[in-house]
Structure 1
């Protein structure tokens, strides 16, 4: 579904990503792990089109989208949930969802389906998003992305800074989504056990380079921890 081929990315004169290649299979999950500063978010922003690729290629469903704008990648089925539980704080929970549902033929049904995945949001539809807890905002951010009916969902640290009870709910929802089929996920995650439990393929990033990769599954936890020197 997504393929990065020898991608180089940077800021100004500084190179941050050095020749990274990875694959997210159709209906599959790939996890990118690494310590803070490894270049994970930079890599995702390049995949989405928010940062230009200095060299290499970005392929989305087999099509070269290296030079295309983010909104063009969205039209091809990409959705991105950045780090930090982002929402439109002055808008209500429902208005945040309606914003992306408007103009879609199945808009109302898509909102309802997203709320089925995160039922805690149903009681918060009239509350301003800025007054939600961090976990609630993260659920809203993922739900809003799902209303766009993506074929590829990119998640940057979806469980960071969230209370453990909500972390478990988000993790289970991501696992349920991937088991349904029809959705591929590129996941950046610090929780190694969860990431490998969800992913069929993993990549460890350090200083902007892939230092280890392999098949996912809990059996790989030891290898990943060793690669990350935890």
Structure 2
């Protein structure tokens, strides 16, 4: 579904990613792991078109999208949930979702389906997003992305700083979506157990380079932990 080939990217004169190659299987999950500063978020920004690579190519379902703007990538079925549980804090939960649903042919149906995935949001529909907990805002951010009916979902540390009970809910939703088919996921995550349960493929980034990669699954967890401890 997504192929990031030999990408070099960074900010001004600072190179963050060095010849990075990552692929996301169709209807599957690729997990990218690494410590803070390894280049994980930069990789997602490059994939989404928010940062232009200095070299390398990006293919979406075989099409070269390296030069496309973010909105053009969204039109081709990409959605991005950055770090920070982002929302419009002064709008209610329902208004946050409605903003995305408006103007889409099946926006109302997609909104209902997103609420079915995260029932707590239905209960909190009239509460301003700024008053939600971090975990609830993260669920709201993912739900907003899903309303666009993406073919490829980019998730940047969806479980970061969230209470364990909500982490479990988010994990189960992402796993259920990947099992259902029709959606590929590029998951940046520091929670190794979750990443290995979700990912069919994993990549470990260190100082902007892929230092380890392979098939995902719980059997790879020990290998990944060893790679991260180096």
Give TM-score scaled by structure 2 length.
Answer: 0.99
Q: Give the secondary structure class of the aligned counterpart of 2:100.
A: helix
Q: Which residue of 1 aligns with 2:144?
A: 144
| Count of residue pairs the alignment pairs up | 230
Match of 2:219 in 1: 219
TM-aligned CA deviation for residue 121 of structure 1: 0.6
Q: Provide the residue aligned with 1:43 in structure 2.
A: 43
Q: Report the equivalent of 1:181.
A: 181
Q: Distance in 1 between matches of 2:10 and 2:108?
A: 40
Q: What is the DSSP-based 3-state SS (H/G/I as helix, E as strand, rest coil) of the residue aligned with 1:228? A: helix
Distance 2:7 2:46 in 1: 9
Q: How does 1:1-230 map to 2 (within 5 A)?
A: 1-229=1-229
Alpha-carbon distance in 2 for matches of 1:5, 1:121:
38
Cα distance in structure 2, aligned partners of 1:229 and 1:124: 40
Which whole-Å CA distance do the structure 1 matches of 2:95 and 2:62 have between them?
35
Q: What CA RMSD, in Å, does the superposition of the two structures yield over aligned residues?
A: 0.7
1:102-144 per-residue CA deviation (whole Å, 9 max, x = no partner) reads 1111111100000000001111111111111000000000000
Give the SS at the match of 2:229. coil
Instruction: For residues 2-45 of structure 1, give each alpha carbon's deviation from its aligned partner in whole angstroms, at most 9, with x where no partner exists.
Output: 00000000101010000000110110100000000000000110
In 2, the alpha carbon distance for the partners of 1:63 and 1:99 equals 29
How far apart, CA to CA, are the structure 1 residues paired with 2:90 and 2:33? 33
* SS of equivalent residue, structure 2 residue 172: helix
Q: 1: CA distance between counterparts of 2:133 and 2:223?
A: 35
Separation in 1, partners of 2:141, 2:23: 24
Gapped runs of 5+ residues in structure 1?
Answer: none
